[in-house]
Amino acid sequence: LNLERDLQHALENNELRLHYQPQLDLESSKVIGVEALLRWQHPTHGNMSPAVFIPIAEERGLINDIGNWVLETACRQSVSWQEQGLPPLRMAVNISALQLHHVDFYEKVATILAATGMNPEMLELELTESAVMQHEESALVLMQQLKALGLHLAIDDFGTGYSSLSYLKRFPFDKLKIDRSFIKDLPLDTEDGAITQAIIGVGRSLKHKVIAEGVETLEQQNYLRDEGCDQMQGFYFSRPLPPEELVELLEQNS
Ligand code: G
Ligand code: G
Ligand code: MN
Ligand code: NA
């Protein structure tokens, strides 16, 4: 198994796909966005998880090409859905640490927006705390530039990294994504409940949207709605779907 070599060919051989997982507004129960999640159908080994191949892509210098493909494909998909008359959905895209800190990142984002006609307001980049904190000063400047383009910024896996409150105030985030490790034992686990409530409270104070990820049960959904969480994402509503299936689900839900 030579994943490095195979990854190099995956782009050219059209083996990469994006699936889209709906994000629901908890008050209206409407789908208001999707997260693009990368899928790789390896020719002989079948589905490979991005948790496995993204780190390899980062090590081998392939992450920028893959990341740019993801960003461009997600933007094209979003524009195409708008042209088909689907309700407006914000498109969330995961950005890896190395991709974020690459010298050409800002220019690449601007180029892709222009080339695809994507409305910057409808694009959300998901960054992890550790990615931002690796080069705090340059990350801050970059994030301010991205905000000036109109993009939204979300902190992914919130609660598992540094999570200092001064950092939350300093960086121009729009949204906190509560890590699914805090959600999975709700509503029974009182410590996870306390952490979840605290994150919702901080988000509200700073006027950030708060989304819970990994919501798998009706009880979790109800708990989060009662606690004032804004949005949710998880298998309870839908797993990540290929584009055709996402459109079907939206048609059933409208
Ligand atoms: O969707 P799944 O559970 O297989 O994702 C596993 C991990 O891979 C998650 O941490 C997710 O954020 C990450 N991931 C999925 N798609 C992308 C992508 O397009 N770019 C980056 N950098 N990470 C991704
Ligand atoms: O790190 P990030 O939050 O980007 O990871 C997204 C990953 O979470 C994807 O691999 C996706 O498949 C997975 N995921 C999405 N919803 C659920 C869920 O309800 N439960 C679990 N266990 N994983 C989920
Ligand atoms: Mn994510
Ligand atoms: Na996450």
- How large is the ipTM? 0.96
Distance 213 CA to ligand 4 centre (A): 7
pLDDT score of 148: 98
Residue of the nearest CA to atom 15 in ligand 1?
37
CA distance 100 to 93: 12
Question: Token pair for residue 251?
Answer: 């048609």
User: Sorting pLDDT into bands at 50, 70 and 90, what band is 163?
Assistant: low
Whether the Cβ atoms of residue 237 and residue 22 lie closer than 8 Å to each other: yes
Our answer on whether the CB atom of 214 is closer than 6 Å to any ligand 2 atom is yes
Q: Which residue has the tokens 């050219």?
A: 12
Our answer on whether the CB atom of 234 is closer than 6 Å to any ligand 2 atom is yes
Question: Counting atoms of ligand 1 from 1, which one is nearest the CA of 38?
Answer: 16
Our answer on whether the CB atom of 216 is closer than 6 Å to any ligand 2 atom is yes
Distance 52 CA to ligand 1 centre (A): 9
Residues across the chain: 254
pLDDT score of 73: 98
pLDDT in tens, 205-238: 999 999 999 999 999 999 999 999 999 999 999 9
Residue of the nearest CA to atom 20 in ligand 2?
214
Q: Is the dihedral of CA 179, 184, 188, 189 positive or negative?
A: negative
Q: How many angstroms from the chain centroid is the CA of residue 123?
A: 10
240: left (phi over 0), alpha (psi -120 to 50) or beta: beta
Output the CA angle 211-96-247, nearest 5 degrees. Answer: 55
| pTM for the whole structure | 0.97
Crossing angle for the helix pair 50-59 and 63-83, to the nearest 10 degrees: 130
Q: How far is CA 17 from CA 58, 129, 138, 240, 254, in A?
A: 18, 26, 31, 12, 26
CA distance 71 to 65: 10
- Test site for ligand 1: of 11, 53, 54, most ligand atoms within 8 A of the Cβ: 54
- Considering the four listed CATH numbers 3.30.1540.10, 3.20.20.450, 3.30.70.920, 3.40.50.10810, the one that applies to the domain covering 24-35+63-253 is 3.20.20.450
Q: How far is CA 11 from CA 16, 46, 49, 57, 83, in A?
A: 6, 16, 16, 12, 26
